[in-house]
Amino acid sequence: MRLSPTHPRYRSLVVRAGLARACRSGVVVPEGLIAHGRGEAFDYLLGERTRPGARRAERAAAEWLRAARHPVLSVNGNVAALAAREVAALACAVPGLSVEVNLFHRTPARARRIAGVLRAAGVDPVLGVRPTARLSGLPSDRARVDRRGIFSADLCLVPLEDGDRAEALRARGQRVISIDLNPLSRTSRAADLPIVDELTRALRAIAAEAIRLRRRRRPPRWVEFDADRARAEALREIARNLNRAATRRRDAPIRA
Protein backbone atom coordinates (compact mmCIF):
# COMPACT_ATOMS: atom_id res chain seq x y z
CA MET A 1 0.00 0.00 0.00
CA ARG A 2 1.25 3.48 -0.82
CA LEU A 3 0.83 6.16 1.85
CA SER A 4 0.24 9.75 0.87
CA PRO A 5 2.14 12.36 2.95
CA THR A 6 -0.90 14.62 2.54
CA HIS A 7 -3.12 12.25 4.54
CA PRO A 8 -4.12 13.91 7.83
CA ARG A 9 -2.92 10.82 9.74
CA TYR A 10 0.23 10.21 7.65
CA ARG A 11 2.62 9.71 10.57
CA SER A 12 0.27 7.28 12.31
CA LEU A 13 -0.16 5.39 9.04
CA VAL A 14 3.61 5.04 8.54
CA VAL A 15 4.05 3.72 12.09
CA ARG A 16 1.13 1.33 11.62
CA ALA A 17 2.56 0.00 8.36
CA GLY A 18 5.91 -0.60 10.09
CA LEU A 19 4.24 -2.50 12.93
CA ALA A 20 2.19 -4.57 10.47
CA ARG A 21 5.46 -5.57 8.77
CA ALA A 22 7.01 -6.37 12.17
CA CYS A 23 3.98 -8.57 12.88
CA ARG A 24 4.49 -10.48 9.64
CA SER A 25 8.17 -11.03 10.52
CA GLY A 26 7.29 -12.26 14.04
CA VAL A 27 8.91 -9.42 16.03
CA VAL A 28 5.49 -8.09 17.05
CA VAL A 29 2.62 -10.40 18.06
CA PRO A 30 -1.02 -9.70 17.09
CA GLU A 31 -1.79 -8.79 20.71
CA GLY A 32 0.97 -6.17 20.44
CA LEU A 33 -0.82 -4.53 17.52
CA ILE A 34 -4.01 -4.25 19.56
CA ALA A 35 -2.02 -2.73 22.42
CA HIS A 36 -0.51 -0.22 20.01
CA GLY A 37 -4.00 0.83 18.93
CA ARG A 38 -4.94 1.52 22.55
CA GLY A 39 -1.87 3.70 22.89
CA GLU A 40 -2.69 5.53 19.67
CA ALA A 41 -6.12 6.45 21.01
CA PHE A 42 -4.63 7.93 24.19
CA ASP A 43 -1.93 9.79 22.27
CA TYR A 44 -4.61 11.29 20.08
CA LEU A 45 -6.58 12.38 23.15
CA LEU A 46 -3.43 13.90 24.65
CA GLY A 47 -2.88 15.96 21.51
CA GLU A 48 0.02 13.85 20.15
CA ARG A 49 2.65 15.96 21.86
CA THR A 50 4.63 15.84 25.09
CA ARG A 51 2.70 17.73 27.77
CA PRO A 52 4.60 19.74 30.41
CA GLY A 53 3.73 17.08 33.01
CA ALA A 54 5.25 14.35 30.85
CA ARG A 55 8.36 16.46 30.32
CA ARG A 56 8.77 16.74 34.10
CA ALA A 57 8.45 12.96 34.40
CA GLU A 58 11.06 12.44 31.69
CA ARG A 59 13.50 14.75 33.48
CA ALA A 60 12.98 12.88 36.74
CA ALA A 61 13.47 9.57 34.90
CA ALA A 62 16.86 10.75 33.63
CA GLU A 63 17.88 11.60 37.21
CA TRP A 64 16.74 8.22 38.52
CA LEU A 65 18.53 6.29 35.78
CA ARG A 66 21.76 8.09 36.69
CA ALA A 67 21.21 7.58 40.43
CA ALA A 68 20.46 3.87 40.19
CA ARG A 69 23.08 1.28 41.09
CA HIS A 70 21.87 -1.10 38.39
CA PRO A 71 19.18 0.23 36.03
CA VAL A 72 17.67 -2.04 33.36
CA LEU A 73 15.52 -1.18 30.33
CA SER A 74 13.07 -3.95 29.48
CA VAL A 75 12.30 -4.42 25.77
CA ASN A 76 9.37 -6.30 24.22
CA GLY A 77 8.46 -6.77 20.54
CA ASN A 78 6.61 -3.47 20.19
CA VAL A 79 9.48 -1.52 21.75
CA ALA A 80 11.99 -3.13 19.39
CA ALA A 81 9.78 -2.46 16.36
CA LEU A 82 8.94 1.13 17.30
CA ALA A 83 12.08 2.41 18.96
CA ALA A 84 15.21 0.26 18.58
CA ARG A 85 17.30 3.33 17.69
CA GLU A 86 15.98 5.27 20.66
CA VAL A 87 16.82 2.34 22.96
CA ALA A 88 20.38 2.32 21.62
CA ALA A 89 20.68 6.09 22.06
CA LEU A 90 19.45 5.92 25.65
CA ALA A 91 21.85 3.07 26.49
CA CYS A 92 24.62 5.27 25.15
CA ALA A 93 23.48 8.33 27.13
CA VAL A 94 23.24 6.34 30.40
CA PRO A 95 26.40 4.19 30.46
CA GLY A 96 25.24 2.00 33.38
CA LEU A 97 21.96 1.04 31.69
CA SER A 98 21.46 -2.62 30.72
CA VAL A 99 19.01 -3.62 28.00
CA GLU A 100 17.05 -6.87 28.38
CA VAL A 101 14.54 -8.62 26.13
CA ASN A 102 11.51 -9.62 28.21
CA LEU A 103 8.47 -11.11 26.53
CA PHE A 104 4.95 -12.12 27.45
CA HIS A 105 4.66 -14.22 24.28
CA ARG A 106 8.12 -15.83 24.34
CA THR A 107 9.63 -18.33 21.96
CA PRO A 108 13.41 -18.74 21.65
CA ALA A 109 13.21 -17.72 17.96
CA ARG A 110 11.22 -14.58 18.73
CA ALA A 111 13.62 -13.54 21.52
CA ARG A 112 16.56 -13.99 19.15
CA ARG A 113 14.82 -11.99 16.41
CA ILE A 114 14.12 -9.09 18.78
CA ALA A 115 17.70 -9.15 20.06
CA GLY A 116 18.80 -9.00 16.42
CA VAL A 117 16.74 -5.86 15.82
CA LEU A 118 18.30 -4.25 18.90
CA ARG A 119 21.86 -5.23 17.95
CA ALA A 120 21.35 -3.89 14.43
CA ALA A 121 20.44 -0.56 16.03
CA GLY A 122 23.64 -0.59 18.10
CA VAL A 123 22.60 -2.13 21.42
CA ASP A 124 25.35 -4.31 22.90
CA PRO A 125 25.08 -6.47 24.93
CA VAL A 126 21.44 -7.56 24.79
CA LEU A 127 20.39 -9.54 27.88
CA GLY A 128 17.43 -11.89 28.25
CA VAL A 129 17.74 -13.99 25.10
CA ARG A 130 18.47 -17.05 27.25
CA PRO A 131 16.81 -16.39 30.64
CA THR A 132 18.85 -17.43 33.68
CA ALA A 133 16.49 -16.58 36.55
CA ARG A 134 12.81 -16.41 37.44
CA LEU A 135 10.71 -13.76 39.19
CA SER A 136 8.38 -15.41 41.70
CA GLY A 137 4.64 -14.75 41.64
CA LEU A 138 4.39 -14.09 37.90
CA PRO A 139 2.58 -16.86 36.00
CA SER A 140 3.55 -15.69 32.50
CA ASP A 141 6.80 -15.94 30.59
CA ARG A 142 7.49 -12.42 31.78
CA ALA A 143 8.90 -14.17 34.87
CA ARG A 144 11.86 -15.49 32.86
CA VAL A 145 14.64 -12.92 33.23
CA ASP A 146 18.39 -12.55 33.22
CA ARG A 147 20.16 -12.89 36.57
CA ARG A 148 22.54 -10.04 35.62
CA GLY A 149 19.63 -7.91 34.36
CA ILE A 150 16.09 -7.42 35.61
CA PHE A 151 16.59 -9.99 38.39
CA SER A 152 19.22 -7.91 40.18
CA ALA A 153 18.18 -4.42 39.04
CA ASP A 154 17.29 -1.71 41.54
CA LEU A 155 15.44 0.30 38.86
CA CYS A 156 13.52 -1.01 35.85
CA LEU A 157 12.37 1.15 32.95
CA VAL A 158 9.41 -0.75 31.50
CA PRO A 159 7.86 0.76 28.38
CA LEU A 160 4.55 -0.65 27.09
CA GLU A 161 4.39 -3.30 29.77
CA ASP A 162 1.64 -5.34 31.33
CA GLY A 163 0.35 -4.53 34.77
CA ASP A 164 1.16 -7.89 36.38
CA ARG A 165 4.80 -7.43 35.64
CA ALA A 166 5.06 -3.89 36.97
CA GLU A 167 3.32 -4.99 40.17
CA ALA A 168 5.64 -7.99 40.57
CA LEU A 169 8.73 -5.80 40.26
CA ARG A 170 7.43 -3.37 42.87
CA ALA A 171 6.61 -6.25 45.21
CA ARG A 172 10.30 -7.24 44.99
CA GLY A 173 11.29 -3.74 46.11
CA GLN A 174 12.50 -2.67 42.69
CA ARG A 175 11.64 0.82 41.51
CA VAL A 176 9.64 1.04 38.29
CA ILE A 177 9.54 3.77 35.65
CA SER A 178 6.77 3.12 33.10
CA ILE A 179 6.22 4.63 29.67
CA ASP A 180 2.55 4.11 28.84
CA LEU A 181 0.10 6.48 27.15
CA ASN A 182 -2.81 5.22 29.24
CA PRO A 183 -2.68 6.95 32.64
CA LEU A 184 -5.31 4.49 33.91
CA SER A 185 -3.46 1.30 32.96
CA ARG A 186 -2.33 -1.05 35.71
CA THR A 187 1.26 -0.39 34.60
CA SER A 188 0.87 3.38 35.02
CA ARG A 189 -0.85 2.88 38.35
CA ALA A 190 1.80 0.49 39.65
CA ALA A 191 4.79 2.61 38.58
CA ASP A 192 6.80 4.80 40.95
CA LEU A 193 7.40 7.13 38.05
CA PRO A 194 4.76 6.87 35.30
CA ILE A 195 5.65 8.65 32.07
CA VAL A 196 2.44 9.28 30.12
CA ASP A 197 3.91 9.97 26.70
CA GLU A 198 4.55 8.30 23.36
CA LEU A 199 7.47 5.86 23.43
CA THR A 200 9.92 7.46 20.97
CA ARG A 201 9.28 10.97 22.27
CA ALA A 202 9.82 9.79 25.86
CA LEU A 203 13.02 7.83 25.18
CA ARG A 204 14.53 10.72 23.21
CA ALA A 205 13.66 13.21 25.95
CA ILE A 206 15.15 11.03 28.69
CA ALA A 207 18.35 10.52 26.69
CA ALA A 208 18.70 14.25 25.97
CA GLU A 209 18.22 15.08 29.64
CA ALA A 210 20.70 12.41 30.77
CA ILE A 211 23.33 13.85 28.44
CA ARG A 212 22.62 17.35 29.70
CA LEU A 213 22.98 16.27 33.35
CA ARG A 214 26.25 14.51 32.62
CA ARG A 215 27.70 17.50 30.78
CA ARG A 216 26.84 19.75 33.69
CA ARG A 217 28.44 17.19 36.02
CA ARG A 218 25.34 17.09 38.19
CA PRO A 219 25.68 14.59 41.02
CA PRO A 220 23.24 11.67 40.63
CA ARG A 221 20.22 11.91 42.95
CA TRP A 222 16.85 10.29 43.50
CA VAL A 223 14.67 13.34 42.92
CA GLU A 224 11.17 13.16 44.38
CA PHE A 225 8.28 12.39 42.09
CA ASP A 226 4.54 12.47 42.83
CA ALA A 227 3.15 9.64 40.70
CA ASP A 228 -0.48 10.17 41.71
CA ARG A 229 -0.30 13.82 40.76
CA ALA A 230 1.29 13.02 37.41
CA ARG A 231 -1.44 10.53 36.52
CA ALA A 232 -4.22 12.89 37.63
CA GLU A 233 -2.73 15.71 35.56
CA ALA A 234 -2.73 13.56 32.43
CA LEU A 235 -6.35 12.52 33.01
CA ARG A 236 -7.47 16.11 33.50
CA GLU A 237 -5.67 17.19 30.35
CA ILE A 238 -7.50 14.57 28.27
CA ALA A 239 -10.80 15.62 29.86
CA ARG A 240 -10.11 19.26 28.98
CA ASN A 241 -9.32 18.33 25.36
CA LEU A 242 -12.56 16.35 25.09
CA ASN A 243 -14.72 19.09 26.58
CA ARG A 244 -13.16 21.53 24.15
CA ALA A 245 -13.87 19.19 21.23
CA ALA A 246 -17.46 18.76 22.42
CA THR A 247 -18.14 22.47 22.03
CA ARG A 248 -17.06 22.47 18.37
CA ARG A 249 -19.42 21.26 15.65
CA ARG A 250 -18.11 18.85 12.96
CA ASP A 251 -14.90 19.57 14.75
CA ALA A 252 -11.28 19.67 13.77
CA PRO A 253 -8.73 17.21 15.21
CA ILE A 254 -8.21 17.42 18.93
CA ARG A 255 -4.95 19.33 18.84
CA ALA A 256 -6.28 22.22 16.73
| Distance in angstroms (rounded) separating the CA atoms of residues 12 and 17 | 9
| Shortest spacing between CB 28 and a second copy, in angstroms | 8
Q: Does 238 bind a second copy (CB under 8 A)?
A: yes
Query: Which residues, 6+ apart, have CB-to-CB distance to 99 below 8 Å?
Result: 72, 73, 75, 87, 91, 118, 123, 125, 126, 127
| Shortest spacing between CB 2 and a second copy, in angstroms | 9
Phi, psi torsion values for 78, nearest 5 degrees: -60, -40
User: Around Cβ 191, how many Cβ atoms within 10 Å?
Assistant: 31
Q: Does 109 bind a second copy (CB under 8 A)?
A: no
| Shortest spacing between CB 215 and a second copy, in angstroms | 37
| Shortest spacing between CB 238 and a second copy, in angstroms | 5
User: Around Cβ 200, how many Cβ atoms within 10 Å?
Assistant: 17
| CA 90 and chain centroid, separation | 12
Q: Per CB under 8 A, which of residues 17..76 are in contact with a second copy?
A: 17, 19-20, 23-24, 29-31, 33-42, 44
List residues near a second copy by CB under 8 A: 1, 16-17, 19-20, 23-24, 29-31, 33-42, 44, 105, 182, 184, 189, 228, 231-233, 235-236, 238-240, 242-243, 245-247, 249-251, 253-254
